[in-house]
Structure 1
Amino acid sequence: MNAPFFPNPTPVAYEGPESKNPLAFRYYDKNRVVLGKTMQEHMRFAVCYWHSFTWPGGDPFGGETFERPWMHGSDPMELARQKADVAFDLFKILDVPFYTFHDRDIAPEGSSLAESNRNVRAIAEIFARKQEETGLKLLWGTANLFSNRRFMAGAATNPDPDVFAYAAGQVKNALDVTRELGGENYVLWGGREGYETLLNTNLKSEIEQAGRFLSMVVDYKHRTGFKGAILIEPKPKEPTKHQYDFDVQTVYGFLKAFGLEKEVQVNIEQNHAILAGHSFEHELAMASALGIFGSVDLNRGDDRLGWDTDQFGMNVAELTLAMLEIIKAGGFTTGGFNFDAKIRRQSLDPDDLIVAHVGSMDAVARALLNAEAAIKDGTVDSFVKDRYAGWRTPFGQSILKGEKTLEDMAAYVEGGDINPQPKSGRQEYLETVLNRFL
């Protein structure tokens, strides 16, 4: 490239709520303390490599619309190096603390796994230097086990063990690179781990294969000293009809079946929650309740469309409900908000990529401030606490501890002439209370 892709590389600054500058933060002030932590510590924002620098703007009915200089040329590795330069320019402009990548986003696939892995390592060396220069960190890495046609019937769940082995070799390299770059998590995204028809599928075999694959990854993590979390991203319906990692509860059941519920957490995406028929906050709350909340891919889907639209998260009301659940879960530890989001294919200018991230970062910041106000008010929390007060009494606790039998329950009700009456859940009242803070 003869000229910088971003014509104005100045880092985005906080200008306050009155600003009308689309290239400035109005609510995200990274050093502002909210509920005992800075906004930056709460959010742990990361920019993803794939949608931002690899997606060309195409859709099923039309080709690319974006003019990305690093996408066209005769030397794939030189283009990959150009892409790395532009990516880190954007990271610095947005002043985010983290980034994320798939191996196939950062480097071209070679004629063999060995060549592909060498390509990834060559670009990772550039990343290491740039991390040292900028102070940026890697939130997580992952392997793309879905784009190449060899994975058309899955990776870990493929009927061919050679494909399983190939995927394992690819994951080993991606996990090694993630560890060497100081990554705080490693994500397993089962893009094609599912099936289309039972006529050609052995369900029992594929589930056992998936469990063996994940167990191998966890074992390798411990043997190599990787300190980060292993994450699975729940993904329903798309692209296969029946995904094995459909939602948080499905993933938890899978982890329990293979004794991995203490080893693996989930990376939750709003768009996937919608495709599974849930809300974003439901999946977050469920992950917290099951003890497997890890990280978040920050985007939004369209309720009327049955695929990933991966739009930037701009719905402040929805994000407020999500932020309340994240705070109740204790906040992020190794995870964060990763912008797994695409600008629309009609958003052609380089600045559109900056504006999209800035707008979504501001939306999350507003959601955090809304959540802070609701928590400090305490009305909703107090109502829920009072609603379940009976379970904190000695009688309620004795039930949960397994100290009471079915006969004890019958004797308690009959002997004490217990006749419980329903109490209002007051949903509309609570929704009205929450609206005060939006």
Structure 2
Amino acid sequence: MSADYQPKPEHKFTFGLWTVGSSGADQFATTFPVRGPKTPAELVRLLGEVGAYGVNFHDNDLIPLDATPAEAEQIKKDFRAALKETGLVVPMATTNLFSAQIFKDGAFTSNDPKVRAYSIQKAMRGMDLGAEFGAKIYVFWGGREGTETDATKNPLDGLKRFREALNFLCEYNNSQGYGYKFALEAKPNEPRGDIYLPTTGSMLAFIETLDHPEMVGVNPEFAHEHMAGLNFMHAVAQAWDAGKLFHIDLNDQNYARFDQDWRFGQQNWKQAFFLVKFLEDVGYTGSRHFDAHAFRTEDYEGVKDFARGCMRTYLIFKEKARQFNEDKEIQALLAEITPASGEMEKFEGKFTAEKAAALKAFSFDRNAIAARGLKYEKLDQLLTDLMMGIR
């Protein structure tokens, strides 16, 4: 790996238009942005300048909600030209089903059947738009799918409506020949008080109830799992084990806070390290999408610093993961604390009546087993030394 940690196309680093295009406004300064607007084409060129591989978009990041057909065509023409100029690709697209007033009570799960129908219509049009630019992953984040009070909506009705919408859109995907893989993104709360299907594990269970579970996976996000107080890498590992890790959102987040969407690796070095190590060790080949924002303090030069920082930090952790895997002392310690099965091998694997009888009859020296120190403290300190650059 290059010592300067420069991004290359094979790293598949992507950013959403909404990330580098963020004005810096927040709920305490909605009418006081600190960065002026840039066109989608200008944002593509910004990403090309910092070395990104691709750009993703919500439908209305690219085409404003009330744009005329002529305006939409010009925007698409300019966007396509910028993609060609920079060599960036569009791996993923998604639908904004959370900003407009019509989504105040949800989109697919709204109590109003007109809102539910409009949401499916908008998603179909968003899929059409993504397909125009070659996207093969389509993300669904239900930011408004939930409640502030359960007096308003039965969660079983919400799940039924969400399921029916996704089943419909899976069939639309097939009918159009788009070849999308759908990726469902979980979040426990915000903007709703409670969002349905709040974690990646919840989404994985829900997917198995769909008509086309083979078409649907997940898009875990670092910040969202941390908001729920969970270990993000464990959620990603479960998704990978299920064959459902279709996309991933990388950022950073303090536990038990609002959705901070910080630069990747800004806060939680150890969690970020283990995530990168996992992705690289298993050979994940999808995009590494940074769903994060620069600080409100920054101008667009600062936005470039933010984007470069996300990619650089990932590559630093990738190099640290390589060092961990090749460190002789660390690997010897891992071999020691994860011994071979030995005489336990005869009890492993699938059930047989003979195996069960033998295991029930076997005598274990519980105290001797428990007395063995596992040297986890030593291992974790070796990792700390490695991450801090002193080994």
Residues 111-126 of structure 1 aligned to structure 2 (within 5 Å): 120=72, 122-126=74-78
Residues 83-94 of structure 1 aligned to structure 2 (within 5 Å): 83-94=39-50
1-side partners of 2:74 and 2:169: how far apart? 23
Q: In structure 1, what residue type is equivalent to 2:122?
A: Q
1-side partners of 2:188 and 2:33: how far apart? 28
1-side partners of 2:186 and 2:322: how far apart? 28
Instruction: Give the secondary-structure state (helix, strand or coil) at the position aligned to 1:434.
Output: helix
2-side partners of 1:387 and 1:289: how far apart? 23
C-alpha deviation, 1:144, in angstroms: 0.3
Q: Compared with structure 1, are the counterparts of its residues 429 and 229 closer, same or farther at alpha carbon in structure 2 (3 Å cutoff)?
A: farther
Q: Which of these residues, 260, 272, 281, is aligned with residue 328 of structure 1?
A: 281
1:108 matched to 2:64? The reply is: yes
- Deviations 1:318-373 (Å, cap 9, x if unpaired)? 321111111233212xx3122211111122x2210111111221111100001111
Find the counterpart in structure 2 of residue 255 from structure 1.
Answer: 207
Instruction: Give the secondary-structure state (helix, strand or coil) at the position aligned to 2:259.
Output: coil
C-alpha deviation, 1:62, in angstroms: 6.2
Residues 316-355 of structure 1 aligned to structure 2 (within 5 Å): 316-332=269-285, 335-347=286-298, 349-355=299-305
Asked if the contact 2:40–2:61 (Cα under 8 Å) also holds between the matched residues in 1, the reply is no
Find the counterpart in structure 2 of residue 198 from structure 1.
Answer: 150
C-alpha deviation, 1:426, in angstroms: 3.8
Residues 60-71 of structure 1 aligned to structure 2 (within 5 Å): 60=28, 63-68=31-36, 70=37
1:362 matched to 2:312? The reply is: yes
Find the counterpart in structure 2 of residue 222 from structure 1.
Answer: 174
1:166 matched to 2:134? The reply is: no
Asked if the contact 2:12–2:53 (Cα under 8 Å) also holds between the matched residues in 1, the reply is yes
C-alpha deviation, 1:47, in angstroms: 2.0
**TM-score by structure 1 length?**
0.79
Q: In structure 2, what residue type is equivalent to 1:431?
A: D
C-alpha deviation, 1:118, in angstroms: 7.5
Where does the alignment leave 5 or more consecutive residues of structure 1 unmatched? 1-13, 18-25, 31-39, 71-81
- Deviations 1:84-142 (Å, cap 9, x if unpaired)? 232122022112110011112222212xxxx6788656533432333233321002111
Find the counterpart in structure 2 of residue 264 from structure 1.
Answer: 216
Where does the alignment leave 5 or more consecutive residues of structure 2 unmatched? none
1:140 matched to 2:92? The reply is: yes
Instruction: Give the secondary-structure state (helix, strand or coil) at the position aligned to 2:57.
Output: strand
1-side partners of 2:310 and 2:382: how far apart? 25
C-alpha deviation, 1:287, in angstroms: 1.6
1:430 matched to 2:376? The reply is: no
Asked if the contact 1:152–1:192 (Cα under 8 Å) also holds between the matched residues in 2, the reply is yes
1:293 matched to 2:249? The reply is: no
2-side partners of 1:353 and 1:391: how far apart? 58
RMSD: 2.8
Q: In structure 1, what residue type is equivalent to 2:45?
A: D
Instruction: Give the secondary-structure state (helix, strand or coil) at the position aligned to 2:253.
Output: coil
Find the counterpart in structure 2 of residue 415 from structure 1.
Answer: 361
**TM-score by structure 2 length?**
0.87
- Deviations 1:371-418 (Å, cap 9, x if unpaired)? 11112337289549935847993531123xxx459xx63x33443334
1-side partners of 2:340 and 2:205: how far apart? 26
Asked if the contact 1:109–1:119 (Cα under 8 Å) also holds between the matched residues in 2, the reply is no
Find the counterpart in structure 2 of residue 27 from structure 1.
Answer: 5
Asked if the contact 1:100–1:140 (Cα under 8 Å) also holds between the matched residues in 2, the reply is yes
Asked if the contact 1:27–1:365 (Cα under 8 Å) also holds between the matched residues in 2, the reply is yes
Q: In structure 2, what residue type is equivalent to 1:312?
A: R
2-side partners of 1:61 and 1:156: how far apart? 29
Q: In structure 1, what residue type is equivalent to 2:377?
A: E
1-side partners of 2:260 and 2:343: how far apart? 42
Instruction: Give the secondary-structure state (helix, strand or coil) at the position aligned to 2:43.
Output: helix
- Deviations 1:214-265 (Å, cap 9, x if unpaired)? 1122222222222342111111122222222211111011112225443212
Q: In structure 2, what residue type is equivalent to 1:296?
A: I
1:372 matched to 2:322? The reply is: yes
2-side partners of 1:29 and 1:363: how far apart? 10
Asked if the contact 2:14–2:52 (Cα under 8 Å) also holds between the matched residues in 1, the reply is yes
C-alpha deviation, 1:275, in angstroms: 0.6
Q: In structure 2, what residue type is equivalent to 1:83?
A: T
Q: Which of these residues, 146, 150, 162, is aligned with residue 210 of structure 1?
A: 162
Q: In structure 2, what residue type is equivalent to 1:361?
A: M
Q: Compared with structure 1, are the counterparts of its residues 379 and 391 closer, same or farther at alpha carbon in structure 2 (3 Å cutoff)?
A: farther
Q: In structure 2, what residue type is equivalent to 1:416?
A: F
Residues 174-189 of structure 1 aligned to structure 2 (within 5 Å): 174-189=126-141
C-alpha deviation, 1:209, in angstroms: 0.8
1-side partners of 2:260 and 2:162: how far apart? 27
Find the counterpart in structure 1 of residue 16 from structure 2.
Answer: 48
Q: In structure 1, what residue type is equivalent to 2:15?
A: V
Asked if the contact 2:7–2:52 (Cα under 8 Å) also holds between the matched residues in 1, the reply is no
Q: Compared with structure 1, are the counterparts of its residues 216 and 323 closer, same or farther at alpha carbon in structure 2 (3 Å cutoff)?
A: same
Q: Compared with structure 1, are the counterparts of its residues 211 and 66 closer, same or farther at alpha carbon in structure 2 (3 Å cutoff)?
A: same
C-alpha deviation, 1:266, in angstroms: 1.4
